[in-house]
Amino acid sequence: MTRLVEVRTQILKQNDVVARELRKQFAEQRRFVVSMVSSPGSGKTQLLQQTLQLLGERYRVAAVVGDLATENDAARLASSGAMVKQITTGTLCHLEAEMVREAIKPWDDIPLDFLFIENVGNLVCPASYDLGENCRLVLFSVTEGEDKPRKYPTIFNTADATVITKMDLAEAVEFDDPAARASIERVRPGMEVLHVSAKTNEGMPAWIHWLESHLPASIP
C-alpha cells in the first residue's frame, strides 16, 4: 500500500531562493541588472563590448559572461575597459543564480550602475533559470530568420524585450521586419523590440538611451 504526501514545491526552489536574494541585493545596491540570452553567434559579445564602451564614459559598468569553454569573450569585453568576469560552465548549458552570485562577490562593495549578465549561447535551457536580473533581453540577428521567436517561444516569453542585432546585414539577407515583429507578437504580445548594429552604430544611441531610462535613478 502507498499513500500520497502532498507537497507542492518548486523543483528549482534552490535557484529561485538565490535569485530572489540577488534581486533584493541589486535593489539595495541600486544596480540595473540586465541579462542577455541568444543562440550562439547572434552578436551578444559584440553588442556588449560596444555597450560597455559607450556606457563606460558616463557610468560604472561591469559584465559577467558565461561560456562553455574558453575565456575569449571576457578578454574581448575587457578591452572596453569595464570590469569583466568569465564564468566557464564546462558542460552546463546555462547559468544558474548561484554561479552569478559567486562571480560577482568581489564587486559586492563596489558601486555599479549597470551590471550585464551574458548567458551561455542557448535559446532553450536559460529559460528555466531566474538569475535575479531586473530585465531579460533576448537577442536574435537578422541572419537567423524572422520566425525564430516562434521556434523558441518559451525563452521569448520569459524575456522583457527583444534586441534584433546585425541590422547592417538586414538588406543583404532581405530581413522582413514586420514578419519578425509578428512572430514576436505571437509568443509575447506587446513586447518591446529594439534594432541595433554594433558594427555601424545604427540604433545604438536609442539602445543606450533605453538602458539609461531603466536606471533606478531615472525611475520616479
Partner 1 sequence: MHELSIALNLLEVAQQTMSEHAESELVAIHIRLGPMSGVVREALESAYLIAREESFCPNAALVIEETELMVDCPKCGDHQVAVSLNDLRCRKCGTVSGRIVGGREMEISALEVKDE
**Interface positions with partner 1 (CB under 8 A):** 1-15, 92-94, 96, 124-125, 127-128, 149-151, 153-155, 157-158, 185-190
Rounded Cα distance between 165 and 142, Å, is: 6
Rounded Cα distance between 26 and 23, Å, is: 5
CB of 82 to partner 1, least distance (A): 29
Q: Residue 124 or 173: which CB sits closer to partner 1? A: 124
| In contact, 117 and 131? CB cutoff 8 Å | yes
CB of 136 to partner 1, least distance (A): 13
CB of 157 to partner 1, least distance (A): 6
Q: Residue 29 or 128: which CB sits closer to partner 1? A: 128
Give me the torsion for CA of 149, 151, 155, 158, rounded to 10°: 60
Q: Residue 39 or 51: which CB sits closer to partner 1? A: 39
Which of 7, 35, 17, 16 is closest to 139 using CA atoms?
A: 35
Q: Residue 34 or 127: which CB sits closer to partner 1? A: 127
C-alpha cell at 149: 521567436
CB of 188 to partner 1, least distance (A): 7
Q: Residue 187 or 193: which CB sits closer to partner 1? A: 187
Orientation angle between helical segments 97-104 and 13-29, nearest 10 degrees: 40
Q: In what order do the strands lie in the sheet with 61-67?
A: 83-88, 61-67, 114-118, 32-37, 135-141, 161-165, 192-195
CB of 217 to partner 1, least distance (A): 29
Q: Residue 54 or 95: which CB sits closer to partner 1? A: 95
CB of 7 to partner 1, least distance (A): 5
Length of the chain: 220
